[in-house]
Chain A
């Protein structure tokens, strides 16, 4: 098991956001967590990245290491878990190139960095055209490409993706998901959280359903796509 989450509990100011969820992700998989707004999807990813604290009793292991021993920056730089946050959160005052470069802050080898930047540009040629533009001047689609590119630069064992489809026109969304599939084929495990359940389940091989801080269902994507409850609640009947 690459990533294993056991009994993860998170609260914000005494309000419980996650009530002890457990799930796991195998090497090379694409796994999705679907759920409505406020179900706790982003909280789950933030807890794995260590951006927010998990409560006592939570267990998270990655390749046999206890995630709780790592501060947020080391989760990225030492464990190779990257996180594309909700709303992309690019550094708008930095250029496209600087956004990519910053994600390699902890890395030493300059040649590797250059090669990785070229690889990002091979996946998203649009970014190379905009290389010296400030990130805040990019269109929504380009911003999502940069957010994914930036995650590729920071760590590539696992990529945590928070609503990559948000705010994208269908065609652009397909482009981004095609690129993500290529990234997965090259060895990056993907954990995706999405409100767009149909898109997510078509993309992932397995899925979990999160409701009010509890995982209520899990299974292969086809099973979930055909599950009457999932159909009713998340796929528009």
Chain B
């Protein structure tokens, strides 16, 4: 039992990253019917932005002008980086996708791939090939209850992720902006007839999705502090799997499927050697999709009505 709980906690942390990233894929898909394949690299970019913000805040704090405890630096890093990374998402939408709004879907898909490559290699060109070490912001403490050991960082990562998901849920359900996002997911074409600009809502979803990816990037940096320009590729693909598995365009589904992916990977790794972890984990997911081709919460029909 203790063994199971231990891994459950690990899986929750691992799944948090997937879930936060998957939400961005899912939101953008739901309003624009577009898979933003650059999203994994926005996660990477957010992580690097977090690295610089944290380093800057540490340096500022070290000068003694505004001495800040580690937890405050972490909190500020998350908030500032989410804010800054949202503009990366806005730029990607504005420069990459908007000119192709009327173009064939395949063009938009390769645009995402190209933007991803540009972000990766741009990072490489700017910062060089050496990896960055995400700074230690909070001292790790381990608590043990009934044979299960939990670190404060794990609790923090899961709690922050859940809080962000709850915030997103409330935003989508309770605000007029969220209402417009839901309406656009249902029927893109007539949204302007409500006096709502499609571009504004598109920008909004890119900004929110990118901010969540940045949060994932920083939390990932806290747990696994080595950053490299290609860290977003595999993570992005897996989170994309979660977004599809959750049901295209379903925010709740994307979050749950993100956690499910975390569970499957962690529990497969208990039984099998880690070299075959993804082989087995993703074979299981392939099997799940065979039986639920629309994912867990996806509609069997395309909710999008067009002209």
Contacts and interface: CB of A to CB of B under 8 A. Distances in A.
Interface string B212-255: 00000000000000000000000000000000000000000000
A85 B189 CA distance: 10
Interface size on B, as a range, is 20 to 34
Given A71-B197, A93-B186, A102 B192 contact: no
Interface in A51-68: 51-52
A102 B305 contact: no
Interface of A: 46, 49-52, 71-77, 82-83, 85, 89, 91-94, 98, 101-107, 150, 154-155
Nearest to B200: A73
A98 B174 CA distance: 10
Given A52-B307, A94-B179, A106 B195 contact: yes
B180 interface: yes
Interface in B171-199: 176, 179-180, 182-183, 185-187, 189-190, 192-198
Contacts of A92: 186
Contacts of A77: 195
Top 10 A-B pairs, shortest CB-CB distance: A72-B192, A77-B195, A106-B195, A76-B195, A91-B183, A73-B192, A73-B197, A89-B190, A105-B196, A93-B186
Contact of B193 (A49, A93, A98): A49
Contacts of A73: 192, 194-198
Contacts of A94: 179, 182-183, 186
A103 B191 CA distance: 9
B193 A82 contact: yes
A155 B186 contact: no
Contacts of B183: 91, 93-94, 102
Contacts of A103: 194-195
Interface in B140-197: 176, 179-180, 182-183, 185-187, 189-190, 192-197
Interface of B: 176, 179-180, 182-183, 185-187, 189-190, 192-198, 303, 305, 307
A106 B196 contact: yes
Contacts of A105: 176, 180, 194-196
17 contacts: A51-B189, A51-B190, A52-B307, A72-B192, A72-B193, A73-B198, A75-B192, A76-B195, A89-B305, A93-B182, A94-B179, A94-B183, A102-B179, A104-B195, A105-B194, A105-B196, A154-B194
B193 A85 contact: yes
A217 to B, nearest CB: 28
A154 B176 contact: no
B195 A154 contact: yes
A76 B179 contact: no
Is the contact region of chain A dominated by helix, strand, or loop, or is it mixed? loop
A166 to B, nearest CB: 16
A51 B193 contact: yes
Contacts of B196: 73, 102, 105-106
A102 B194 contact: yes
A154 B193 CA distance: 8
B8 to A, nearest CB: 34
A222 B186 CA distance: 42
Contact of A101 (B179, B198, B307): B179
Nearest to B305: A89
Contacts of A51: 189-190, 192-193, 307
B239 to A, nearest CB: 25
A89 B186 CA distance: 10
Given A52-B307, A101-B176, A102-B180, A76 B194 contact: yes
Nearest to A135: B186
A18 to B, nearest CB: 15
Contacts of B194: 73, 76, 102-103, 105, 150, 154
A195 B190 CA distance: 22
A107 B194 CA distance: 11
A104 B198 CA distance: 15
Given A51-B192, A76-B195, A154-B194, 5 more contacts: A71-B192, A73-B192, A73-B194, A75-B192, A89-B193
A83 B196 CA distance: 13
A89 B195 contact: no
Contacts of B182: 91, 93-94
Nearest to B192: A72
Contacts of B198: 73
Contacts of A155: 195
A98 B195 contact: no
A116 to B, nearest CB: 13
A139 to B, nearest CB: 19
